[in-house]
Chains A and B, each alone.
Chain A
């Protein structure tokens, strides 16, 4: 230990002989290491963003959504003429069938979504009316601000109760307590029993799932919804009338353990798809699969970014090699002296290797400091999220030292191979 320390100490002395040269060489490594850490941090930040959004959907969930069939699919069905009433989407039968056939499901949530105008006195707004059950709260991690969420009994008794989302409540009841007051949806009145806390919207994922806003919702019991609105929705648009018939907008299913997801999903698919093969009017979303996909994409992203940054580290290594080759030539006489005084070839190799490793090691440490210090600033002053992971720090520092060793081997070997007599004669 003492000897290595002494060698490092003497190596530093040799490097200090050319301060500018040594610092410029170190700078190359500093940029390389800092670039690798920062690039990986940006990659990691992007990955975490995506994964957080997917995780919000619930990794143990499997989601089935009704999808309005494309014009093509509609035409095929009716022989060239769109039918007057468009019947598509998930049915209550699907819901019952899934529950009856798939044993691993612990919870199931039927959802019916309708866009409707909601009124209260002279306040009105376009809201998403969601007919659902009490499980909705847990599935979507809603928190209740006032009153309560829907109860199982509300559904059983077809109650005209509703729960307002934060923004809905603010719009319809500015400066008022909405509890126990009435709002009008369509032609019916509903009593407000609760208000939820604001919840950020989920981002769209891939294209398999649209972005969801929760703050303009009105929640009513599913049975009430079914009884009041029925399955048929009429909408007038530019003179033509369109009718759609949908029973359920979405079914969200939950399994107990995350590792049950991969085997449950195909079973559910087998229970649902045969009944929707022609119209292609349903779509399954498995957040867990999306999560895995996002992780794979993030890994590729990080790899690409890291590789680009690694190039600068390699350039830094070439810089070290270049300077060490110059140093070896310049110090030929010193090598001769050392050899004459008893240094073996491996002593010379070791000496120059230690010098290069000290160079790259110092560069690596400074690079790590910059790489750890800068990403939080990036996150703070820009939209880009950057997360420094310990593994990226260790990786880049390790690579920098490795680069030092590789870059130092050739010059050190060249130094060691010199003939002592020739070297002593060198001016």
Chain B
């Protein structure tokens, strides 16, 4: 896997002149190895190659699904993209910054400013209200002081996900779908470069799943870059681009079936409008 994704992804390549729009994420030959078991003198340590040289670019406004069986490396990939982990080797440019070798504190700072997470299990803080949960990433930025604008934005986002009237509720007073909507609002509070969704609908019934997917879709149309990990084909169909992985490598990278029939104008929708830092209007 030494060739760039451009050859794998001719349609996007045609649409986008890389000199015009810079990729927001640029992975080059990313490798990740885990050492299983303690490397004692008696026992040989087992080295697991989770990623074996992944190179891929993501552009602003893209909506990408990463698919693969368990053990394919998709979770490792998501952890690396989310700056929760560092690659063993390779280059990871987020925006213009190389984040592959940042210190633990710097990675935390990057997560709090540039990345939004949506988890399968919602992962809200149980003892906090909706209001406090949405604001949580801001409290870990810089001084942690919340401005009036932050408060306004919190309310705006809560209303956007339809929970403006439930600001003082706690997670255990909300349904799964509502909790996931809080998580979406939380992932947007720092106006991130990319939103990473990890099986975001895995714990939800199909009706609620559709609701959440529709919300993600609207976010993408508003210009947000979304990368989601899923193993469900029909969920992946919501994305515009599907990357399939196996054994730590990308085996295919193509527009989703939905996009194959669509006109180039639809494909290009949202591209270039969702540059990082742009203010998100309520959907």
Give residues in A with beta carbon < 8 Å to B.
2-3, 6, 10, 13-14, 16-17, 333-334, 336-347, 420-421, 424
Contacts and interface: CB of A to CB of B under 8 A. Distances in A.
A342 B124 CA distance: 14
Contact of B127 (A14, A337, A421, A424): A14
A339 B108 contact: yes
B140 A13 contact: no
A2 B145 contact: yes
Contacts of B137: 341-342
A420 B111 CA distance: 12
Interface of A is mostly: helix
B139 interface: yes
B140 A338 contact: yes
11 contacts: A3-B144, A6-B144, A10-B132, A14-B127, A16-B127, A341-B136, A341-B137, A342-B190, A344-B108, A420-B84, A424-B84
A337 B123 contact: yes
B104 A334 contact: no
B84 A342 contact: no
Interface in B93-124: 104-105, 108-109, 111-113, 117, 119, 123-124
A342 B82 contact: no
A6 B139 contact: yes
Cβ-closest 10 pairs across A and B: A342-B112, A342-B140, A344-B108, A342-B111, A341-B137, A337-B123, A17-B127, A13-B127, A343-B140, A344-B105
Interface of B: 79, 82, 84-85, 104-105, 108-109, 111-113, 117, 119, 123-128, 132, 136-137, 139-141, 143-145, 186, 190
Contacts of A17: 126-127
Contact of B143 (A3, A338, A342, A345): A3
Nearest to B112: A342
B109 A344 contact: yes
Contacts of A2: 145
B127 A341 contact: no
A338 B111 CA distance: 10
A340 B84 contact: yes
A11 to B, nearest CB: 10
B149 to A, nearest CB: 16
B192 to A, nearest CB: 10
Nearest to B122: A337
A337 B125 contact: yes
A10 B126 CA distance: 12
A337 B136 CA distance: 10
Given A420-B84, A421-B79, A341 B128 contact: no
Given A3-B143, A338-B140, A424-B119, A344 B104 contact: yes
B85 A421 contact: yes
Nearest to B186: A341
